């Protein structure tokens, strides 16, 4: 009898990291390779989350950030309708598809939906509807609302503009992306819904926090273990959307 192939961690949506060997890799500075790329490569090769992502079938280490956030806050439940902004290459979508049961494989559980959007093209992900779109262009939110065709339970954003090398510029850009994501969330979330977004600490995130506090029961800043400790990145998790009051 043919054996059923074992599911990858990505297909199960799990966070287990068992069976890892810890062998540090050193990269030689080859001719033409800058010191900064040597250090980047070395960090990638020795990063346990990069190794896990490879072993468990996730498209990137970012998957573990949303897995860890969801382990704590439990917003990716079967049946949930999810919007994933800045979804390339697709790690968060993979996690969402498995956890909300977007493929309908968990019998007896509600089937959810996952809508992903990114500037870049994304290799198809079974169970997710993905569109290439610059979320900062005029009417981008109208397009997303159209594709969604109704309310969402979760709006999550891992959007980040390409790093400029200037800390404050990067901070302001990510806050602008975050605010745009929050405005979509205010328009499409169902009451009780959740908003998750990546921010880079840098001074102006207070304004966003204030707006979120008016719209949600609870707003928390979290740095999941998978987020590199030397990065100013953190995630704002706003739960219990109060609704638009227009129902
Ligand atoms: C850190 S990556 C996201 C990783 C993703 N969460 C995953 O798990 O694979 C950030 C993404 O934000 C996207 N992005 C940045 N600005 C954007 C914009 N204006 N509209 C749509 N996507 C954007 C980038 O193209 C990039 O793919």
Summarize pLDDT for 71-90 with one digit per residue, the tens: 999 999 999 999 999 999 99
Is 153 annotated for ligand binding? no
Q: Does residue 29 contact residue 38 with C-beta atoms inside 8 Å?
A: yes
Q: In this predicted model, what pLDDT tens digit does every residue of 182-208 receive, in sequence order? A: 999 999 999 999 999 999 888 777 888
* From 82, 119, 122, 227, mutation site for ligand 1 pocket: most ligand atoms within 8 A of C-beta: 119
CA distance 193 to 19: 36
Residue of minimum CA distance from atom 7 in ligand 1: 91
Q: Does residue 194 contact residue 238 with C-beta atoms inside 8 Å?
A: yes
Domains of the chain by start residue, with CATH: 30-61 (no CATH), 63-241 (3.40.50.150)
Torsion sign (Cα): 45, 46, 51, 52: negative
Q: In this predicted model, what pLDDT tens digit does every residue of 38-74 receive, in sequence order? A: 777 777 778 899 999 999 999 999 999 999 999 999 9
Q: What average pLDDT does the segment 114-141 reach?
A: 97
Q: Which residue has the higher pLDDT, 106 or 26?
A: 106
64 in contact with ligand 1, CB cutoff 6 A? no
CA distance 158 to 102: 20
Is 147 annotated for ligand binding? no
């Amino acid at each position: 009898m043919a054996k059923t192939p074992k599911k990858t961690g990505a297909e199960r949506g799990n966070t287990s990291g068992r069976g890892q060997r810890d062998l540090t890799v050193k990269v030689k500075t080859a001719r033409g390779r800058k010191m900064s790329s040597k250090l980047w490569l070395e960090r990638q090769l020795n990063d346990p989350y990069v190794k896990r992502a490879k072993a468990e079938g996730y498209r990137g280490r970012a998957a573990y950030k949303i897995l860890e956030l969801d382990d704590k806050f439990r917003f990716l439940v079967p049946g949930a309708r999810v919007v994933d902004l800045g979804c390339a290459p697709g790690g968060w979508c993979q996690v969402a598809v498995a956890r909300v049961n977007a493929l309908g494989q968990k019998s007896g559980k509600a089937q959810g939906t996952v809508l992903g959007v990114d500037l870049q093209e994304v290799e198809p992900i079974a169970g997710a509807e993905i569109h290439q779109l610059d979320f900062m262009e005029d009417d981008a939110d109208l397009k997303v609302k159209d594709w969604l065709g109704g309310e969402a339970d979760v709006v999550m954003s891992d959007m980040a503009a390409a790093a400029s090398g200037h800390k404050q510029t990067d901070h302001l850009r990510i806050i602008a992306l975050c605010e745009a994501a929050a405005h979509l969330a205010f328009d499409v979330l169902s009451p009780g819904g959740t908003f998750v977004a990546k921010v880079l600490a840098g001074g102006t995130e207070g304004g966003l926090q204030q707006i979120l506090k008016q719209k949600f029961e609870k707003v928390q800043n979290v740095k999941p273990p998978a987020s590199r400790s030397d990065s100013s990145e953190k995630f704002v998790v706003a739960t219990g959307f109060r609704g638009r009051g227009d129902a």
